[in-house]
């Protein structure tokens, strides 16, 4: 079983048993670092940015102590960091890296390249809303901006999920049927700096769940090759991109297979979506990430009050698990998509994706309500979720819903008083 130096040195043996069964208190960032450590990554190109920095600090600390063998290099920007990550992977290394928000956007063009090279790196993004205005708190605009890059996108709700999804992501990304990089997203503060018990599997178990990466055609001086070739004939470009699309679709099946094995090894069950009190629910909230925990709580409370409410949590965003989402939502009376992001001129990013899955379904929900909530880390209260359920019922009778922003009276008061300070009005 688990016996890493860090824990065995710090804790007496009696307590070790309990930490195996009940886990150990750690932040989402530390859980991410643990996943990289357990996956025995070879190479970690890095660049610091809040709220991701702790991941790199922990990893470099372990490397300094000799507990981890990886090579960690600080690059001069996220653009260089991602370039190093992709090329390191092409050379055959298992690569881990992490960033946030502006950093992700700064390296953005390389995301398309890494996916195009078919380099299966894992990039952890610690969500933080994008400037301007500047904030450190999370929403999913940074993460979701990568939705067309070719990366597999996975979103964690808990610190345990952070660790587990990274291990699963390596399995899926490195599978020859997929061979695409992944982003595992965790919300800044609400996961990155939140501590909760996390079970760390033993390195032996992880080794057999996740064998060493066997790159298909690694860069070698002895076998020269050209990667990321220019294709000056348009049909070639279409062909390669479409094949990338088809490979990304394979990730649904490959992820499910990996989840079955994961459960056999580690006794935790995952799927591309998670249903919470959903099967018999008439009204459904669609959410993702750490705020889904708040959604679940609200569902539980409303259930006790007699409302037929359930929640669908999206765990895999790309490929978009169309079938699973459709099956979960068809036949429901109404669905509300709570987008923790904002697309100016449109509403939320996930809303049209959910609608597109349901449009051709015979028994589709009568109403699909677009909701924007939690942007820039704005909290969501149980009452706001209750309001969403009331809106679903209202529109079920008639009317065409426009995107609604979840915003409370106390918040508007606060904004007004801050405006008085800031602009004197």
Partner 1 sequence: MLIYARFHGRGGQGVKTASRILGNAAHLEGYYTQDFPIYGAERRGAPVVAFTRISHEPLPLSERGYIFNPNLILVADESLLSDPLVNPLSGLQSGGALFINSSKPADKIRIDRDDVTVVVEDLIDLSLKYVRKTVLSTGLGAVAAKLTGLIRWVSLEEGVKEELIEIGVKGEMLEKNILFAKVCFEKVHPVSLPSPKLGEPMKIVEVSWMPTNLTIPEIRKVGNTRVRKTGNWRIFKPTINHERCTKCGICVIYCPEGVITMMDDEPEIDYDNCKGCLICFNECPVKAFNYVREVEAA
Sign of the C-alpha dihedral, residues 298, 303, 307, 308? positive
- Choose which of 66, 133, 230, 306 interacts with partner 1 (CB under 8 A): 230
Minimum Å distance from CB 18 to partner 1? Answer: 44
Question: Of the two residues 250 and 308, which places its CB atom closer to partner 1 in the complex?
Answer: 250
- The candidate with the shortest Cα–Cα distance to 139, out of 405, 341, 397, 411, is 341
Question: Under 8 Å CB-to-CB from 131, ≥6 apart: which residues?
Answer: 101, 102
Q: How far apart are CA 405 and CA 384, in angstroms?
A: 10
Q: What is the DSSP string of 106-151?
A: HTHHHHHHHHHHT---EEEEEE-PPSSSP-SS--SHHHHTTTTSS-
Nearest by Cα to 62 from 123, 7, 21? 7
Q: How far is the CB of 240 from partner 1 (least distance, A)?
A: 5
Among 19, 97, 247, 340, binds partner 1 (CB under 8 A): 247
Sole binder of partner 1 in the list 25, 131, 231, 361 (CB under 8 A): 231
Q: Is 179 in the site for partner 1 (CB under 8 A)?
A: yes
Burial of 397 per CB tally in 10 Å (0-12, 13-18, 19+): exposed
Q: Which H or E run contains 174?
A: helix 159-174
Q: Which residue's CB is nearer to partner 1, number 255 or number 351?
A: 255
Q: Could you give the angle at which helices 292-304 and 382-397 cross, rounded to 10 degrees?
A: 70
Using the rule CB under 8 A, is 240 a contact of partner 1?
yes
CA nearest 34: which of 14, 10, 4?
4
Cβ atoms of 303 and 277 within 8 Å: the answer is yes
Instruction: Give the end-to-end CA distance of the chain in Å, rounded to a whole number.
Output: 63
Nearer of residues 227 and 326 to partner 1, judged by Cβ: 227
Is residue 236 a contact residue for partner 1 (CB under 8 A)?
Answer: yes
Considering only the stretches 25-33, 172-180, 380-388, 398-406, report the one whose residues sit in contact with partner 1 under the rule CB under 8 A: 172-180
323 makes contact with partner 1 (CB under 8 A): no
* 225, 323, 356, 417: which one binds partner 1 (CB under 8 A): 225
> Judged by CB under 8 A, which of 246, 361, 405, 415 binds partner 1?
246
Residue 233 interacts with partner 1 (CB under 8 A): yes or no: yes
What are 1's two structure tokens? Answer: 């079983």
Shortest separation between residue 229's beta carbon and partner 1, angstroms: 5
Contact letters for partner 1, residues 118-157 (x by CB under 8 A): x---------------------------------------
Tell the smallest beta-carbon distance from residue 148 to partner 1 (Å): 17
208 part of the interface to partner 1, by CB under 8 A? no
Nearer to partner 1, 215 or 289 (CB): 215
Give the nearer residue to partner 1 in terms of CB position, either 51 or 116: 116
User: Nearer to partner 1 by C-beta: 243 or 323?
Assistant: 243
Strands (E), 157-222: 182-187, 195-198
Q: Which of 133, 224, 345, 424 binds partner 1 (CB under 8 A)?
A: 224
**206 sits in which H/E element:** helix 203-209
Point out which residues bind partner 1 (CB under 8 A). Answer: 116-118, 176-177, 179, 216-217, 223-233, 236, 239-240, 242-244, 246-247, 249-250
């Amino acid at each position: 079983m688990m016996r890493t130096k860090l824990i065995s040195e710090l804790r007496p043996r009696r307590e070790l048993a309990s930490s195996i069964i009940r886990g150990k208190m750690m932040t989402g960032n530390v859980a991410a670092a643990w996943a990289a450590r357990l996956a025995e990554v070879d190479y970690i190109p890095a660049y610091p940015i809040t709220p991701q920095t702790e991941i790199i600090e922990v990893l470099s600390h372990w490397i300094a102590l000799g507990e981890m063998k990886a090579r960690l290099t600080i690059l001069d920007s996220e653009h260089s960091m991602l370039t190093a990550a992709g090329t390191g992977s092409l050379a055959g290394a298992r690569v881990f890296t992490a960033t946030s928000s502006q950093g992700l956007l700064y390296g953005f063009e390389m995301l398309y390249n890494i996916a195009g090279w078919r380099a299966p790196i894992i990039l952890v993004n610690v969500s933080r809303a994008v400037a301007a205005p500047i904030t450190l708190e999370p929403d999913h605009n940074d993460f979701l901006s990568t939705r067309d890059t070719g990366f597999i996108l996975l979103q964690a709700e808990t610190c345990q999920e952070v660790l587990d999804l990274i291990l699963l992501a390596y399995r899926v990304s490195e599978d020859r049927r997929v061979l695409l990089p992944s982003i595992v997203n965790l919300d800044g503060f609400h996961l990155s700096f939140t501590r909760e018990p996390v079970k760390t599997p033993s390195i032996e178990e992880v080794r057999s769940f996740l064998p060493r990466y066997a790159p298909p055609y690694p860069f070698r001086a002895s076998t020269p090759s050209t990667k990321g070739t220019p294709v000056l004939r348009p049909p070639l470009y279409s062909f390669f991109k479409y094949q990338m699309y088809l490979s990304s679709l394979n990730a649904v099946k490959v992820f499910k297979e990996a989840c079955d094995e994961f459960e056999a090894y580690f006794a935790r069950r995952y799927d591309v979506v998670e249903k919470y009190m959903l099967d018999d629910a008439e009204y459904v909230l669609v959410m993702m990430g750490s705020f889904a925990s708040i959604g679940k709580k609200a569902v539980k409370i409303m259930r006790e009050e007699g409302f037929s409410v359930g929640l669908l949590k999206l765990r895999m965003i790309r490929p978009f698990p169309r079938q699973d989402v459709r099956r979960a939502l068809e036949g429901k009376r109404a669905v509300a998509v709570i987008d923790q992001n904002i697309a100016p001129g449109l509403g939320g990013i996930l809303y049209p994706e959910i609608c597109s899955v349901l449009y051709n379904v015979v028994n589709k929900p009568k109403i699909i309500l677009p909701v924007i909530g939690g942007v820039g880390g704005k909290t969501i209260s149980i009452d706001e979720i209750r309001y969403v359920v009331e809106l679903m019922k209202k529109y079920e009778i008639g009317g065409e819903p426009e995107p609604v922003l979840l915003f409370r009276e106390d918040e508007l008061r606060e904004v007004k008083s801050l405006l008085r300070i800031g602009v004197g009005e």
